[in-house]
Amino acid sequence: MRPDSQSDHAELRPAGERGYADHGWLKSFHSFSFADYHDPRHMGYGPLRVINEDRVAPGQGFGTHGHSDLELVSYVLEGALAHQDSMGNGSTIVPGDVQRMSAGTGVRHSEFNHDQAKTVHFLQIWIEPAAAGIAPSYEQKHFDAAAKRGRLRLIASPDGAQGSVTVHQDARVYAALLDGAERAGHALAPRRMGYVHVARGSLQVNGRALGAGDALKVPAGAALSLAGGSDAEVLLFDLAAERAR
């Protein structure tokens, strides 16, 4: 796929400029303003409100707490994260799993790393729903490495397309694993914008080098070429442009 000239105007969000919090048991990088970290330049991107890169220490976790009117997506990179919620769901999220919890009118949940030796490394993603006050719901699906190898695999969408989890927003999320000569491409529609987040490794997006934790805010209508990966795992958010900030 030939890159679109609009992609030249993509805004880099360097990993080293993210917010950071060290709570001892939790070390967290914030791509957007979150908790005590506030930056008016980075309040979110369209309906995408939070990407926190969290590392939870062995035998530690998030105690029971509440959310409402959010689509919460968890993407585990390493380790196993135990989940329990007030809807009666109990599960363990491991690499390859995508968990979606629609908080809607209100949900309480906890997340815990029961392993006494290994750290859990995961992405905590919040997306604002298209409507407030929906009924809470939960979904978890597995996408193995082969499904993401050398291609952008749809993992979340508003209609559950291609076996993805369903989010209550006009947002589509793709995941890819890219290494060596592997390439992937994606064209944004004229009224859709993109956000590329490198979860780990490194790669080039339209020839622009990105490392772990780096991200690009991509303008509407751009075409994207992902190549030159070195053990790269990347998420691409395809978002309705009218929600841009």
Phi and psi at residue 110, in whole multiples of 5°?
Answer: -135, 155
What are the φ and ψ backbone dihedral angles of 224, each rounded to 5 degrees?
A: -120, 135
Structure tokens, 206:
């339209």
177: Cα within 13 Å, side-chain hemisphere: 11
In this prediction, what percent of the chain has a pLDDT beyond 70? 95
Model pLDDT for residues 42-60, shown as the tens digit of each residue = 999 999 999 999 999 999 9
CA distances from 113 to 78, 90, 127 (A): 11, 14, 24
- 131-140 average pLDDT score: 96
Given a cut of 80, whether residue 119 has pLDDT beyond it is yes
Q: What is the pLDDT of residue 181?
A: 97
Q: How confident is the model at residue 67 (pLDDT cuts 50, 70, 90)?
A: very high
CA–CA distance, 165 with 101 (Å, rounded to integer): 10
**Predicted pLDDT of residue 241:** 82
Closest to 192 in 3D by CA, of 172, 214, 215, 162: 172
User: How far apart are the C-alpha atoms of 115 and 106, rounded to whole Å?
Assistant: 29
Q: How confident is the model at residue 8 (pLDDT cuts 50, 70, 90)?
A: low
Q: Are the C-beta atoms of 54 and 122 separated by less than 8 Å?
A: yes
Tokens of 90: 């109990």
Cα atoms found within 13 Å of the Cα of residue 10, Cβ hemisphere only: 30
Q: How confident is the model at residue 187 (pLDDT cuts 50, 70, 90)?
A: very high
Q: What is the rounded average pLDDT for all residues in the chain?
A: 94
The yes-or-no verdict on residue 9 having pLDDT over 90 is no
**Tens-place pLDDT, residues 189-244:** 999 999 999 999 999 999 999 999 999 999 999 999 999 999 999 999 999 986 43
**What is the tens place of the pLDDT at every residue in 147-178?**
999 999 999 999 999 999 999 999 999 999 99
Q: In the predicted model, is pLDDT for residue 39 greater than 50?
A: yes
Which pLDDT score is estimated for 242? Answer: 64
Tell whether the model's pLDDT for residue 80 goes beyond 80. Answer: yes
Amino acid in position 148: K
